[in-house]
Chain A
């Protein structure tokens, strides 16, 4: 019996069934299949919601071990665990106990800790860009010169101070965005879509087995 359950045809069949349940109602209106697809999607939402708990457990395990072993920077792990526990507990959906989305601690931590930290992380990019602008954006050959000029015009087109002083810059940056960029992006999107279709067909036919036992028979 256990040998039968280990047969590779079973997960392949399950993949094919699950895929067709989602794909067919997208193109054909069959009420029964539509209901089945809807229920399958809802069950995925539940699985994802449950997976959140795995994330919390994983954080506790990883950082718990770092604290236990006093590895480098272990004191940061105390902060991670501390804030994870506080946010998880204060955010529990128990409004009658004063917990949940309206809890003051939960909202205070979001507004005064998470928001400025997130903004700071994003803002750090500005420093890397300025350093790269000075050290890496060099016209070493024709190709890099084209990229450099186009990139610089795009930067200038996003600065009201420059577009106000030199109005044609706005038009040129708009042209770069809507002609060469659009053509390239459209090509990339069509290529990626064709690749996805090919992968889906291979998976449905059981040829693509990379997701099963590491692709081995």
Chain B
């Protein structure tokens, strides 16, 4: 058997082992590879920095479960930190069952009190609302009719100063959503953007990007953060290197590995085609 045939018939366990090495090595020994800043990161940073003003009401929504955490959690943490440097009202809600638990994990990394935020006065948690898009529509029509009590203290929403004057989707100034699937941006668009014109920025996993682009081009989505690489760029712009910067070397090496495999696989395929 020729060398090319051997390469062509390489046991997949070797491929898996090398994949493991390409991901694990840079995680254990950070390479500090350069990270060029893309337009996606610049737009996201500029929007949060310049377009979200003091006093704005921000609906902050972690719309993913634990499986999405490796890719989405760093950008959720970075954006929360960025928002907390401003004087905004933050309402945290999720339509994914694990969303509130993801946010609990976020609170182990970011303490709003360190930024002068007081629970109930400057920010509030509504927890998980079951019912997917129907629940989103319901929340848009009447926040306090949809959620009986807050997630942390179990008190009626109208007993919190932060909720004063916030009744419907019309009172929300911006939606900041991090998501892996449905419900997600298309549902937000139908229930908030179309009827109330609520602007939105979305952080999503890499595979969702293609479906998001039409919303960006139509102007319905003000900024998009596609995946871990752009999260790392955003952390650099924020001058707060965090989880994404720590993981982006592994993204680089694993992607280089995939490209090498594609090239090697095709070379072997073409050179052994006639023999077959």
Contact = CB atoms under 8 A, between A and B. Distances in A.
B75 to A, nearest CB: 15
14 contacts: A42-B146, A45-B135, A118-B67, A122-B68, A127-B19, A130-B258, A130-B261, A134-B262, A134-B264, A137-B266, A160-B252, A163-B38, A174-B39, A185-B211
B153 to A, nearest CB: 9
Interface stretch (B78-86, B116-124, B136-144): B136-144
Contacts of B53: none
- Greatest chain A CB density within 10 A among B227, B232, B259 is at B259
Contacts of B10: 134
Interface string A179-193: 001100110010000
B255 A45 contact: no
B15 interface: yes
B69 A118 contact: yes
A213 to B, nearest CB: 25
Interface stretch (B126-134, B157-165, B169-177): B126-134
B23 A152 contact: no
B129 A45 contact: yes
B272 to A, nearest CB: 11
Contacts of A155: 255, 258-259, 262
A117 B66 contact: yes
Contacts of A118: 65-67, 69
A133 B28 CA distance: 25
Contacts of A38: 138, 141-142, 145
A171 to B, nearest CB: 10
A67 to B, nearest CB: 25
B214 A182 contact: yes
Central interface residue in A38, A134, A174, by most chain B CB within 10 Å: A134
Contact of B36 (A37, A93, A170, A181): A170
B214 A110 contact: no
B236 to A, nearest CB: 10
Interface string A63-86: 000000000000000000000000
A8 interface: no
Nearest to A51: B130
Given A134-B264, A152-B262, A122 B67 contact: yes
Top 8 nearest A-B pairs by Cβ distance?
Answer: A118-B66, A159-B255, A161-B252, A41-B138, A118-B67, A133-B261, A48-B130, A134-B261
B76 interface: no
A32 to B, nearest CB: 14
A115 interface: yes
Interface in A67-119: 93, 95, 101, 107, 110-111, 114-115, 117-119
A52 B128 CA distance: 13
A156 interface: yes
Contact of A163 (B36, B98, B264): B36
A177 interface: yes
A58 B270 CA distance: 52
A126 B232 contact: no
A111 B71 CA distance: 16
A44 B18 CA distance: 49
A38 B19 CA distance: 51
B125 to A, nearest CB: 9
B69 A119 contact: yes
B36 A45 contact: no
Given A34-B141, A159-B252, A159-B256, 9 more contacts: A22-B137, A38-B145, A107-B104, A115-B105, A119-B67, A134-B12, A134-B15, A159-B255, A160-B252
